[in-house]
Amino acid sequence: MEKTQLNQAPSEANNGENPVLSQEPVNFIQEIINKDRETGKHGGRVHTRFPPEPNGYLHIGHAKAICLDFGIAAKNGGLCNLRFDDTNPSKEDIEYVESIKEDIRWLGFDWGDRLYFASDYYETMYQCAEELINKGKAYVCDLSPEQIKEYRGTLTEPGKESPYRNRSVAENLDLFRRMRNGEFPDGSRTLRAKIDMASPNINMRDPVIYRILRATHHRTGDKWCIYPMYDFAHPISDALEGITHSLCTLEFEDHRPLYDWVLDNLSFKSRPQQIEFARLNLTHTLMSKRKLLELVKQGAVNGWDDPRMPTISGIRRRGYTPESIRVFCERIGVAKSNSVVDIALLEHCVREDLNQKAPRAMVVLRPLKVIIDNYPDDLVEEFEAEINPENPELGARKVPFSKVLYIERDDFAENPPKGFFRLAPGREIRLKYAYYIKCERVVKDETGEIIELHCTYDPASRGGWTNDGRKVRGTSHWVSAAHAVDVEVRLYDHLFREEVPGPDSVVDPDSLVTLAGCKAEPGLAGALPGDRFQFLRQGYFCVDKDSAPGKLVFNRTVSLKDSWSGKQK
């Protein structure tokens, strides 16, 4: 797989054309649609569908498909259906149906009253199968699954015809009806399309279109004991819904001749067209419902919505905004060859969005106590701090300051290395919005661990500056001890350390770090699950659903350091 960075901003993607004059780049799917609309194909209509199989939670790859399916319909004055592709009852569940609907809505898309299920069309699909049998285009085959595989041939060798291939129409009809009636055991017979066992495309070598399977379906219950295969069900569903452009990922390219064959051999008024695009892959991430399900089952993560998961529910819980995901999907664009997108681009997109939206707060993650010896014991001052410097009209909040404070442990070094500009014995730093303080004395416990610092403050530096031209290089955030709210903070790293995880990759044990006893400014006390903040110097955070009254838990969405911007220079 080619590794590329499909990150160009629209203007850069235009081969140096004047970015002001050039228009939004037109992807190859839009080009096809433009042509179709010009020639009046599909009567000028654009109607797409998003067809998830309810066998797991959606992931960010699906977000790309959702943005494309719903987005391209909207851009062209068309419609997009939500259709559950529920033809595999043993793997599917109503829990997944509900989560998928919630995720699509959260992303900001709406299917209106066009919610469909492939299972709603089972009767029609069955009739279509009989139609093929009547036309001599399908037959009941008694080969076992292993034999079918054996007869199929390979990429270099043609397949062998099934000995059941030339059954009469009457015999086929009779057997197929009896399949439906439950007269034969699971796996004992199939219905196969009669196409070409010598086709260079293995998908065309008499593919199975119906199988016998006794499994309770989450919608049709035990009504059916035969189920259509995806390649048969999908084109029929598309045609029934009047879909014009059926967008799917590249692995279906080799199935397109079969998609077309099914429609060519059935009599539908409408004729959808399948178009394939490259699936999204992200570095440090696995993107397959099957593999994600394994992680959940093994307990390698804490459920589908673990904030480290690339699922939409995980990403949402982590604190991503739907807007940032839509912008990400816009930026990666749509291409015809597979590639791996750098996860740093996704992180960049959410930073950009949250920088505008997230109110600021001071939270000390790893607290170190600071006592200001020359500050009056009972005095509490309130300092004004901006809510969001990107958005000055939001105004300011008030932050209390008193004699005992917390700063980050990292903001102090007893023996500062070269280039360390924060607090050290005898050195002065600025406490953001408040005062300059100077470290006078370090107090350690019997193990030698530093437990508190004694400092002095300069009353002339009120507000965090002086007019004597004094240079103070370090600025720290802080929280007043008497006013602090204790919170839990969860820091995340990529789920997999490997840039491109392989089958043996395991979840990085350091991908979750939980910090208890973090100290937050009092204004955060009323925060509710889903609320997002920028913690000064620490990143963007979101209140987790594990929070309860008196117990706030924050997820770090992303740190502030933008590795994407760095890579672009």
Active site members? 53, 279, 289
Query: Which position among 128, 248, 334, 405 is part of the footprint of ligand ATP (CB under 6 A)?
Result: 248
Does 360 engage in binding with ligand ATP (CB under 6 A)?
A: no
| Residue 466 C-beta: closest distance to ligand ATP, Å | 56
Residue 249 CB, nearest approach to ligand ATP (Å): 3
- Please tell me whether residue 135 binds ligand ATP under the rule CB under 6 A: no
Segment interacting with ligand ATP, rule: CB under 6 A, options 56-64, 118-126, 295-303, 331-339 = 56-64
Q: What is the spatial distance between Cα 125 and Cα 131, in angstroms, rounded to a whole number?
A: 10
Q: How far is CA 374 from CA 379, 382, 402, 515, in A?
A: 11, 18, 11, 32
What residue 434 binds from ligand ATP, Mg ion, none (CB within 5 to 8 A, per partner kind)?
A: none
Determine, following the binding rule CB under 6 A, whether residue 64 of this chain makes contact with ligand ATP: yes
Least CB distance to Mg ion at residue 62 (A): 10
**Residues 309, 318 contacting (CB under 8 angstroms):** no
Angular region, 74: left φ>0, alpha ψ -120 to 50, beta rest: alpha
DSSP string, 488-499: EEEEE--S-SSS
**How many angstroms separate the most distant Cα atoms in the chain?**
102
- Select from 1-9, 232-240, 281-289, 554-562 the region that touches ligand ATP (CB under 6 A): 281-289
What pairing do the DSSP bridges indicate for beta strands 428-431 and 475-476?
Answer: parallel
Beta carbon nearer to ligand ATP, 65 or 368: 65
Residue 52 in contact with ligand ATP, rule: CB under 6 A: yes
- Footprint of Mg ion on 38-57 (CB under 5 A): 53
Nearest CA to 210 out of 128, 274, 270 is that of: 128
Q: Which is nearer to ligand ATP, 292 or 543 (CB)?
A: 292
| Residue 101 lies near ligand ATP (rule: CB under 6 A) | no
Query: Six-digit token pair at 450?
Result: 């530093």
Assign residue 395 a region (left: φ > 0; alpha: ψ between -120 and 50; beta: otherwise).
Answer: left
When binding is defined by CB under 6 A, the residue of 51, 207, 235, 539 that contacts ligand ATP is 51
Q: Annotate 296-330 with b (16+ C-beta within 10 A) or e (fewer).
A: beeeebeebbbbbbbbbbbbbbbbbbbbbbbbbbb
Q: 150: which residues sit within 8 A by CB, 6+ positions away?
A: none
Binding span for ligand ATP by CB under 6 A among 8-16, 46-54, 123-131, 159-167: 46-54
Minimum distance from residue 108 beta carbon to ligand ATP (Å): 17
Phi and psi at residue 522, in whole multiples of 5°? Answer: -60, -25
Residue 61 sits in the site that holds ligand ATP (CB under 6 A): yes
Binding partner selected for residue 366 from Mg ion, ligand ATP, none, CB under the kind-specific 5 to 8 Å limit: none
Which stretch, 204-212, 285-293, 518-526, 548-556, contacts ligand ATP (CB under 6 A)?
Answer: 285-293
Tokens encoding 417:
């290395």
249 makes contact, choosing from Mg ion, ligand ATP, none, with CB < 5 to 8 Å by partner type, with ligand ATP
Q: Is 65 in the site for ligand ATP (CB under 6 A)?
A: yes
Q: How far is the CB of 53 from Mg ion (least distance, A)?
A: 5
Shortest Å, Cβ 231 to ligand ATP: 13
Binding-site member from 226, 280, 472, 553 for ligand ATP (CB under 6 A): 280
Q: Which of 5, 53, 369, 563 binds ligand ATP (CB under 6 A)?
A: 53
Q: Dig out the tokens for 188 from the structure.
A: 């004992």
CA distance 60 to 401: 43
Backbone dihedral region of 237: left (phi > 0), alpha (psi from -120 to 50 degrees) or beta?
alpha
27 binds ligand ATP (CB under 6 A): no
DSSP state of 48: E
Task: Give the residues across from 416 on adjacent strands.
Answer: none
Question: DSSP labels for 200-223?
Answer: SSGGGSS-EEEEE----BTTTBTS
279 lies in the site for ligand ATP, by CB under 6 A:
yes
Q: Which amino acid is at 435?
A: Y
Tell me the site size for ligand ATP, rule CB under 6 A: 15
Q: Is 288 in the site for ligand ATP (CB under 6 A)?
A: yes
Q: How far is the CB of 294 from ligand ATP (least distance, A)?
A: 12
Q: Which two tokens stand for residue 186?
A: 């699971």
Using rule CB under 6 A, residue 490 touches ligand ATP: no
Q: Cα(476)–Cα(459) distance, rounded to whole angstroms? A: 17
User: Where on the phi/psi map is residue 204: left (φ > 0), alpha (ψ -120 to 50), or beta?
Assistant: alpha
Site of interaction with ligand ATP (CB under 6 A)? 51-53, 61-62, 64-65, 248-249, 279-280, 287-290
Site of interaction with Mg ion (CB under 5 A)? 53
